[in-house]
Amino acid sequence: GKHRIVIPCLGHFKEEYEKVSKLYMNNQIRTTKYTLLNFLPRNLFEQFHRVANLYFLFLVVLNWVPLVEAFQKEITMLPLVVVLTIIAVKDGLEDYSKYKMDKQINNLLTKVYSR
């Protein structure tokens, strides 16, 4: 059957612990979607999977064609930019609160049963 090996990080076991611990993933909880590096591209990718945002993007692109231009280009972009910005701020704040909660949970003290 399956078994696990627990090596304490104490005294003369420290070298063995450091050698073995590199082989396994850590035990941290991570519920966040974004990092600082991937927030903008991933958030835009998710937002443009919504049909309404694609519709407004289509109107913006269509308005850049001189034959079809109905309004000023900047006015057509304004609703899309406002909606994308509001949703990005909301998603960022939600993800940050998840990050703080994960950090709090990962730093809790635990008790280990030992015979």
pLDDT digits 0-9 by tens, 19-47: 777 776 777 788 999 999 999 999 999 99
CA 46, CA 39: separation in Å to the nearest integer? 11
- 42 occurs within a structural domain: yes
Is residue 21 situated within a structural domain?
no
Domain presence at residue 68? yes
Using alpha carbons, list the distances in angstroms from residue 84 to 33, 49, 77, 80, 103: 17, 12, 11, 6, 28
Q: How many domains does the chain have?
A: 1
The answer to whether residue 18 is domain-embedded is: no
- pTM for the full predicted model: 0.69
Q: Which of 70, 79, 18 is nearest to 52 (CA)?
A: 79
What span, in angstroms and rounded, lies between the C-alpha atoms of 99 and 105? 10
Sign of the dihedral through C-alpha 102, 104, 106, 111:
negative
pLDDT digits (tens, 9 = 90+) for 98-112: 999 999 988 887 766
Joined together, the tokens standing for residue 37 give 């590096």
Q: Distance (Å, rounded) from C-alpha 93 to C-alpha 43?
A: 13
86 to 43, 45, 79, 80: CA distances (angstroms): 12, 15, 11, 10
Residue 15 counted as domain residue: no
Q: Is residue 115 part of a domain?
A: no
- pLDDT band for position 113 (cuts 50, 70, 90): low
Residue 44 within any structural domain of the chain: yes
Q: Is residue 5 part of a domain?
A: no
> By the 8 A CB rule, do 80 and 111 touch?
no
Range of the domain at 48: 31-107
